[in-house]
Amino acid sequence: MGSPATRTDPSDPAAGLVARAAFPLLRDQPDLVYLDSAASAQKPAAVIDRLTRFYGREYANIHRGLYGLSEGTSEAYEAARHRVARFLGAGAQEIIFTANATAAINLVAHAHGDSSLKPGDLVLISQLEHHANIVPWQLLRERRHVRLAAIPIDDDGDIDLRQYEMLLSREPRLVCLTAAANTIGTVPPLKAMIDQAHRAGAMVLVDAAQAAPHLPLNMRDLDCDFLAITGHKLYGPDGIGALYVRESILADLPPFLGGGGMIRSVTLAHTDYADGPRRFEAGTPAIGGAIALATALDFIDAIGFERIAAHDAALLAHADARLPEIAGLRIIGRPAQRTGIISFAIDGLHPHDIGSLLGADGICLRAGHHCAQPLMERLGLVGTTRLSFAVHNTTSDIDRLVDSLARVRQMLR
């Protein structure tokens, strides 16, 4: 799918890559400017229709029933696993469905961290991380008494690669990195950093929640050990995500949650666990969410990452040119490579006040610390106002934002 809604001239950022009409909420609210896709993306009609069709015409539980409806649903669920695997350049046996990227990272912290890391082992994170890639490792530190250290960033918002090399010399066991920073959009040199970590003897977990809608991710090329994505940022449903685990690691990984669906046999004395991803999918999963996520990935692939990257770059350039027109506005961070995210601050104005007044004007974006308080502390800020792009955004959305910001600036002088 995707070709009827996709613009014929993707080189024109004034048009958007995909028509607003493809998204029911945006179609029905033509005056709304939605610039908060880094929090959650709007859903195209194809995804909503797939979810509705599943619950209205196809619903049954999976891997349990011997009747046609259940068998059909089981096939669709496993086909969705294969679809996620293809999207990530992985094998289906390496894809675990989770509730979201946060749940995926917590799964690694418990299943791998509790079983393989011992007191004194070093875990590295970066100052760019979302709380979802910080707090699970702090909890692991409390449980297992591992050490935790942060890779610094420079004033532009890029990872300090010299400091990274120095930290690798301390022989960490695990390195946890974002593939795109949710607050200032930094895209680190991930492949090189993963290679360095492996040479130092560390495994690598990648939080790709923000990167997955904007950048191609191929597990054979990246060669990371774990990678987390979430459906709601991928134009898919909320409540569904996925964790890639390298097959050789997954084979020896102990289960994290226990219950139905993740077992081969159970007696009161002993349980034999299922093989592969199902060992980590206890209970009834988000069946409809997984199936609709596959449709969302079809939607993204029909557009193509090359076109998405060009569209992001054009919108970023337009925002870079227009936002400084506002007196006292500072764009936060100038990373060498940035995905479709910009944060800014305005001298003397609190980001919550900015966000609230913009919201009253029909401009939807995020204000605050964006679940990245350590990064805010590094930048010397209480928070920022963040705009983030999707395939439906246009230069006119940015122009509307700038016009609204000018009015806000006048109101709060």
Side-chain half-sphere of 54: how many Cα atoms within 13 Å?
27
Q: 219 φ, ψ to 5°?
A: -65, -30
**Cβ pair 228, 288 in contact under 8 A:** no
Number of helices (H), then strands (E), belonging to the chain: the values are 15, 15
Within 10 angstroms of residue 128's Cβ, the number of other Cβ atoms is 30
**Cβ pair 122, 149 in contact under 8 A:** yes
List CB contacts of 98: < 8 A, sequence separation 6 or more: 104, 107, 228, 240, 241, 242, 243
Read off the tokens for 276: 């592969």
**CA nearest 182: which of 392, 369, 399?**
369
**CA nearest 154: which of 333, 15, 274?**
333
Cα radius of gyration (the chain): 22
Q: Which amino acids are annotated catalytic?
A: 371
**Cβ pair 295, 84 in contact under 8 A:** no
Within 10 angstroms of residue 199's Cβ, the number of other Cβ atoms is 9
Task: Give dist(CA 200, CA 215) in Å, integer.
Answer: 27
**CA nearest 244: which of 79, 83, 129, 88?**
88
Read off the tokens for 375: 């990064």
Task: Give dist(CA 364, CA 385) in Å, integer.
Answer: 11
Distances (CA, A) of 144 to 37, 101, 127, 137, 365: 36, 22, 22, 10, 39
